[in-house]
Amino acid sequence: MKKKRLSILKILKDSGTPVPGSLITDELNRMGIEISERTVRFHLLEMDREGLTKSAGKQGRIITERGLEELSIARIYDKVGFSQPVLMICLPVHVITLLLVKAVSL
């Protein structure tokens, strides 16, 4: 998953309450990720379709259980030091399992 989308999920997770796109845009820009509000809306709509986020009406967006799982998986892969596709293509399942178990226990 791309850095921008993971950063959006992290912002939503850390907030614990619905966050409007304008505040997500401001926070991403503060983090050094230059992005427009329109692009944030695009990512949010895509993540809504994928079940990672959910609209809370005029209050903004919230992260879903699936979004939390995706964020957690991304952190595990980051700890292991490989990208998702490399693990899935190059390593046998039992090796992936061992790496993930070690990463979770870090």
Domain ranges of the chain: 3-66, 72-104
**For residue 9, which of 58, 73, 57 has the smallest C-alpha distance?**
73
pLDDT tens figures, 78-88: 555 555 554 45
pLDDT tens figures, 68-81: 988 888 776 555 55
The predicted pLDDT at position 11 comes to: 95
Q: In this predicted structure, which of 14-18, 34-38, 47-51, 102-106 has the lowest mean pLDDT?
A: 102-106
Mean pLDDT of the region 79-101 = 59
Q: What is the dihedral of CA 84, 85, 87, 88, to 10 degrees?
A: 110
55 SS3 class: strand
Q: Which CATH fold topology does 3-66 show?
A: Arc Repressor Mutant, subunit A (1.10.10)
Would you say 22 and 37 are in contact if contact means Cβ atoms under 8 Å apart?
yes
**Residue 100 exposed, middle or buried by CB count within 10 Å (0-12, 13-18, 19+):** middle
The predicted pLDDT at position 87 comes to: 46
